[in-house]
Structure 1
Amino acid sequence: MTHDTTVTTRLLLVVADGVRADMLEEEMDAGRAPAMAALRARGRSQPISTSFPSVTGPAYVPFLMGKHPGRVGLPGLRWFDRARSIKWAPSQSRSYAGIDIWHVDSDIAPQVPTLLEYAQPSIAAMSMIGRGATHGRIGRGVAWMARAAPSHFRGDLLGWRAVERQATAAFLAKFGAVRPRFSVLAITSPDKFAHKFGCRSTEVRTAIRDVDDAIAQAQTLAARGGWLDSLHVWVTGDHGHAPVHEHFDLHGWLEGEGLRVLAHPRLNVTSPDVVLMVGGNAMAHLYLAPAERTRRWWHTHAASWDRTLDRLVAHPSVDLMAVSLSDSVVQLRHTERGTAEVHRHVGAGGTRWSYLAEHGDPLQLGGTLRDLDACTAWEATSATPYPDALVQLSWLAAAARAGDVILSASDGWDLRARFEPVTHVSTHGALLRDQMTVPLIVDVPTQRMPQRTTDIVPSALQLLGVATDTVFDGRSFLR
């Protein structure tokens, strides 16, 4: 339940899709992103942690719903529906890289509101999540998809950018007329340019200027309408980016093990032994015994799968492997650093995490850690190669729609050598620092250091004066 305590404050959340936090700082420092630099001067700018998988789609959940993505039914860019519960799903699978993008709003948990539902009137533009937007989902209708699809599937990035600019112009026209309490505008070209040209390329820097120009135009419209003083603009990202040099054909490797594999885009495989869902392309879900409609925990699979997974985790493309021993215990494997377990438990003080490194230290945390809350769990991992690993792995591995095995690729590798319209030279999706770190710029002072993108929703609601009894996975950085 919610109620508004003010009707004046407005927030525009701009998503710089795939922009590295350090790149954005460089552009602001160089004077090439003056609108964002002005926001930084009024508030703060710092890198924060996104969700795992660090992939467009699920990574929009934290900053629009305040929850970790697996907890609201969005475990990946691609996922398999064991329960056969989703409609219009070829082979019981989803891929938000194609037409299934239209199903995102219905796939996420209906009982968890979005910021677009909390603060209205609201507008969404080019956003993966748009549920609750009272004045439309610009860039996601049939006409918009018809314009964007040819460029997307041909890898025509200039064509994609042109369509995106048209969508941004349509958003700004509506933004000026509606004066929304909350709006979200995503600029996705930086991600697409990063995949093709590199995450530090000139093309990505040009796309960052598109983000800055959109902010400046929104502020100009508000100034002309006399409501600039009530408008706040925050900027964040969904995932980072990192150079990739090696592309592992995980699909082909599994077939080489004698397995029948169902994976996008080859969905016409009957009686598969395993379902493979890759996203980013530096992470993957493996669904074992896909004919069954309920999930089993690892001990029931171990006898038939341990040898195959031992060979897989030893491949140089695989950094971390996670298997769920129960709904609260996940085992982590690394070919050289051994195994450890992450335990999640609920007590009088809320949810706590422990890292039991009795047979190795795959996360390089220096040994066993016990009884950490969400904030101290983030602090314990924030400076390591795997930021927020305990919380992220714990929630994702236990999700009903997640794979029985979750893979995070090694630095410099991804897990999908085929089926991409553009050969990737930069990637994301893995539980690695460069891919898990995103920018956050807010135009107001903060009372504590932001940690995760889940912190954005409770902070935004406080800014907007909207009260709620929803329990978020983040906490406000304004109090």
Structure 2
Amino acid sequence: MGSTWKLAGLMSDDTTGTTRLLLVVADGVRPDVLSEELERGNLPTMARLREKGGLHTISTSFPSVTGPAYAPFVMGRHPASVGMPGLRWFDRARSLPWSYAQARSYSGVDIWHVDGDLDPRSPTLYDLVQPSLAGLMMIARGATHGRVGRGIVWSLRAGWAHFRGDARAWRRVEQAAVAEFLRRFTRTRPTLSMLGILSPDKLAHAFGGDSTIVRTAIQDVDTAIARAQASATADGWADGLRVWVVGDHGHAPVSDHEDLHGWLSSRGHQVLAHPKLGTRGADVALMVGGNAMGHLYLDPARRSRTWWPSLSSRWQSTLTAMLERPSIGLLAVAMSANTVRVFHRDHGGADIVRSHAGHDARWSYQSIAGGDPLQLGGSLSDLDADDAWLAGAASPYADALVQLSTLVPSPRAGDIVVSAASGWDLRARYEPTPHVSTHGALLREQMLVPLLIDGPVTRVPLRTTDVVPSALDLLRVTCEVPFDGRSFLR
């Protein structure tokens, strides 16, 4: 399987030509803040990119958190589709090596396992476009010129800053890694380069997504692009260098922090959750990431996932009680592989039914007793992917039909998936930085991200999954890989 897609990507008529792509990830940058900084003249390099193409607001994948949210623009797939259901998740199948208590947290040493945890049958953009280079990227499988920012020294320096909650120290370490990336970029001239700049996200958690210090950190993105363009100009290949900028998730103010771990314990449950994974006889594994979403794995000794109807007799009271908490925005459970039931405290319940597969998929939204938890205006039927996106464009939950139907029934997802209410997150303790801004939820302000393209498009970009097929079109690479997104260049 692997050799098939690699040959498809590398055997095109012209995999390199004169066109190269630098994709910069502005981690945690809100589209409104980026637009404001462009209008204020604080980002001159990106302003020139916008003049050539445009700035679009698109949706990321749920959960809207660094790590999973990188899968769409590195693999063209929603993260649950390639085995990455969250920043933290529980390995019910006991299939992972080096997994203490069968629990993953990519906010720690498990970051080293990201590439190996992903579905090996699904290629990355680095696999399909070579030579390729990664810098400060959560996913870098297949990058022929390696990954800058993932060595032992970098990890120790970055980890020290992260777990001390020192966002400014993180930015200094990151700036050094960006400098090394640019040196390698200049030397190797890769066809594909991806560079992540995470300081805006780190600083947003501590100071707010629209704070002055975050706006200053966004200038690091502009500076990195300017330096890359200057290097290409000096070496005579700037005419073929294209630059796109994409966000991975939004940010939203948070003032209330739910201790979901403590609440479950107060109901008599034995809870396994990070960072305390030594709980014996756990009947719930709680995996929170972002920190505005979470997975609840019920009866975690069970080795295979099952559907909600077989769990409801024991766990319905817990779901009902959780739904009454002000911190909870949505709860979702899988009724079957193709049906997800969604609950909202004030707006009732509804079923999301997905039929067919791939780009022929259709979605229906079926109200239960007049319920409209996603606030879409009532029942809907036979929507294609574009119509499903548009159906949620004015609702509080961006792209909810596609995102919930993809995540909730996936093999590695929890039996109950939680999206926090506005103003709340779900992890009151164990965070090194007291959060004043959060993400992870299905809420639109956390799901919407910027996409800056230095050229015209032929269709309006909708999702971050659209980036990979579009990049392949830009670079004239043909392959038969099925993606969740569609090219905006054809």
TM-score scaled to structure 2, two decimals? 0.97
In the alignment, what sits opposite 2:464?
A: 453
Contact 2:164 2:432 in 1 (8 A): yes
In the alignment, what sits opposite 1:93?
A: 103
Question: Which AA in structure 2 matches 1:445?
Answer: P
Contact 2:249 2:439 in 1 (8 A): yes
Question: Which AA in structure 2 matches 1:462?
Answer: D
Tell me if 1:438 matches 2:413: no
Tell me if 1:300 matches 2:310: yes
Question: Which AA in structure 2 matches 1:59?
Answer: A
Find the aligned partners of 1:31 and 1:346 in 2 and give their Cα distance.
47
Find the aligned partners of 2:368 and 2:295 in 1 and give their Cα distance.
26
Tell me if 1:419 matches 2:430: yes
In the alignment, what sits opposite 2:397?
A: 386
Tell me if 1:63 matches 2:52: no
From 458, 475, 480, the counterpart of 1:464:
475
From 407, 416, 434, the counterpart of 1:405:
416
In the alignment, what sits opposite 1:396?
A: 407
Tell me if 1:204 matches 2:214: yes
Secondary structure (helix, strand or coil) at the match of 1:467 reads coil
In the alignment, what sits opposite 1:39?
A: 49
Q: For each residue in 1:207-238, what CA deviation from the matched residue of structure 2 results, as whole angstroms up to 9, or x when unmatched?
A: 10001000000000000010000100000011
From 429, 433, 436, the counterpart of 2:440:
429
Find the aligned partners of 1:138 and 1:348 in 2 and give their Cα distance.
34
Tell me if 1:4 matches 2:12: yes
Q: For each residue in 1:32-66, what CA deviation from the matched residue of structure 2 results, as whole angstroms up to 9, or x when unmatched?
A: 01111111100011110000000000000000100
Secondary structure (helix, strand or coil) at the match of 1:277 reads strand
Secondary structure (helix, strand or coil) at the match of 1:416 reads coil
Note the C-alpha offset of 1:383: 2.0
Q: For each residue in 1:56-97, what CA deviation from the matched residue of structure 2 results, as whole angstroms up to 9, or x when unmatched?
A: 000000001000110000000000000000010010010000
Tell me if 1:339 matches 2:349: yes
Note the C-alpha offset of 1:5: 2.6
Find the aligned partners of 2:299 and 2:356 in 1 and give their Cα distance.
30
Contact 2:274 2:287 in 1 (8 A): yes
From 86, 90, 94, the counterpart of 1:80:
90
Tell me if 1:260 matches 2:255: no
Cα distance, 1:399–1:425 mapped onto 2, change above 3 Å: same
Cα distance, 1:349–1:164 mapped onto 2, change above 3 Å: closer
Note the C-alpha offset of 1:136: 1.1
Find the aligned partners of 1:141 and 1:354 in 2 and give their Cα distance.
46
Question: Which AA in structure 1 matches 2:163?
Answer: F
Find the aligned partners of 1:176 and 1:84 in 2 and give their Cα distance.
43
Find the aligned partners of 2:168 and 2:290 in 1 and give their Cα distance.
21
Contact 1:358 1:368 in 2 (8 A): no
Q: Give unpaired runs (5+ residues) of structure 1.
A: none
Note the C-alpha offset of 1:4: 2.9
Find the aligned partners of 1:68 and 1:427 in 2 and give their Cα distance.
21
In the alignment, what sits opposite 1:354?
A: 364
Structure 1 runs, 4 residues or longer, greater than 6 Å off: none
Find the aligned partners of 2:185 and 2:428 in 1 and give their Cα distance.
41
From 319, 332, 336, the counterpart of 1:309:
319
In the alignment, what sits opposite 2:281?
A: 271
Secondary structure (helix, strand or coil) at the match of 1:35 reads helix
Secondary structure (helix, strand or coil) at the match of 1:166 reads helix
Query: Number of residue pairs matched?
Result: 479
In the alignment, what sits opposite 2:338?
A: 328
Q: For each residue in 1:360-387, what CA deviation from the matched residue of structure 2 results, as whole angstroms up to 9, or x when unmatched?
A: 0000111110011111111111221111
In the alignment, what sits opposite 2:133?
A: 123
Cα distance, 1:219–1:321 mapped onto 2, change above 3 Å: same
Question: Which AA in structure 2 matches 1:222?
Answer: A
Note the C-alpha offset of 1:300: 1.1
Find the aligned partners of 1:404 and 1:329 in 2 and give their Cα distance.
13
Note the C-alpha offset of 1:358: 3.1
Find the aligned partners of 1:369 and 1:129 in 2 and give their Cα distance.
36
Secondary structure (helix, strand or coil) at the match of 1:371 reads strand
Alignment of 1:228-239 (within 5 A): 228-239=238-249
Identity %: 59
Note the C-alpha offset of 1:120: 0.8
Cα distance, 1:347–1:95 mapped onto 2, change above 3 Å: closer
From 191, 196, 200, the counterpart of 1:186:
196
Secondary structure (helix, strand or coil) at the match of 1:160 reads helix
In the alignment, what sits opposite 2:254?
A: 244
Tell me if 1:374 matches 2:385: yes
Find the aligned partners of 1:206 and 1:328 in 2 and give their Cα distance.
45
Secondary structure (helix, strand or coil) at the match of 1:344 reads strand
Find the aligned partners of 1:450 and 1:357 in 2 and give their Cα distance.
29
Contact 2:168 2:203 in 1 (8 A): no
Find the aligned partners of 1:308 and 1:60 in 2 and give their Cα distance.
32
Deviates more, 1:187-196 or 1:358-367: 358-367
In the alignment, what sits opposite 1:476?
A: 487
Q: For each residue in 1:331-378, what CA deviation from the matched residue of structure 2 results, as whole angstroms up to 9, or x when unmatched?
A: 000111110000011179821110001320000111110011111111
Contact 2:272 2:284 in 1 (8 A): yes
